Structure 1
């Protein structure tokens, strides 16, 4: 695999898994009641946390997983349960009350992790690092990680324009829709975790 092809593969894979455009409705639902400054702070914190988590697992991911004795299925199951709790808050309207006074909380969970730095992104980065055969390849992986997080920040930072268009009523509708979408993502993660364990037992 050539260097150009390798960097494109890494960037495209991380873009698809982390899905910057897909985070917009959930980001707006969680930050719709905040002012512009708070939304900007949430975008910075979520991006920084995601970058930190992804970088950590790029450097020490395999060692961490081996030391703790966990696997992808466990990460997926935990992430799914966490997202399911958040989706229930969005659907019942509790998110407006619980997150309005806690910008850092929603930036860390669920935005920073597990939505951005989730099981899929973590595992993909670990695999790309394992596949790297030279210092240049490691550099490409690092640049791809930084690039995708710059894109994520810009997408969230400028999605605030939609808040002015949607206004309060539109944000409430978007919140409920986001709750359904988030619940679907959560169920998919849990289902993948269950299937992962089923395959392990079948191969045992």
Structure 2
């Protein structure tokens, strides 16, 4: 296994996915769940993210090419989805006990596009395209597994943060998370627009 490629892929995916930064967003979206349900949500989110990343690593280029989807289009779609989530967090819609959103947060938006987002997908596709043989594929696969184990560790032990912050602290974290998610969404959309401008102006 190419340890240099493994390290590069691991660091790149870790920085893009940002496991520490995903914790406050995870807490905000699962604030109405109990201990066991929150742990289940963490496992489901990581499992979905892993499946999506592996799927795009294996056939990402072919899928996008077949559907005629560009990478900027994926970025814009992910940004719009995250913007809707941010508005719910900022307006307190997540506080509504009648809302069914929390039943699916492990899949959307946690699993994708927060964890397996456009950035992680694009980075994975690029690494696979640059791979020169079986050992390179093994290194990339090991990096994907390692980064998802790290993500799960952060989300799994987020309950410690819950006990420290209490209900009032989680309220504050929810609003701050909404602002951060909104900023991420706007950045994704802005990057997509810039890519479209470069693509069609050249």
Q: Aligning the two structures, in what range does the TM-score lie when normalised by the shorter sequence?
A: over 0.9
- Taking structure 2 as the reference length, what is the TM-score of the superposition? 0.96
Cα gap change, 1:85 to 1:96, in 2 (>3 Å)? same
Unaligned runs of 5+ in 2: none
Name the counterpart of 1:124: 123
> 1:97 Cα shift?
2.2
CA contact (8 A) 2:32 2:102 kept: no
Unaligned runs of 5+ in 1: none
Name the counterpart of 2:157: 158
Superposed CA deviations along residues 89-139 of structure 1, whole A, max 9, x for unmatched, are 000110122687555410011110001000110011111111111101101
After TM superposition, the runs of 4+ consecutive aligned structure 1 residues lying more than 6 A away are none
Tell me if 1:180 matches 2:179: yes
Superposed CA deviations along residues 147-201 of structure 1, whole A, max 9, x for unmatched, are 1001000100001111111111111111000000000000000000100100011
Name the counterpart of 1:146: 145
Cα gap change, 1:76 to 1:34, in 2 (>3 Å)? same
Q: How many residues align?
A: 202
- Taking structure 1 as the reference length, what is the TM-score of the superposition? 0.95
Structure 2 SS opposite 1:160: helix
Q: Distance in 2 between matches of 1:100 and 1:49?
A: 22
> 1:72 Cα shift?
1.1
How does 1:9-24 map onto structure 2 within 5 Å? 9-24=8-23
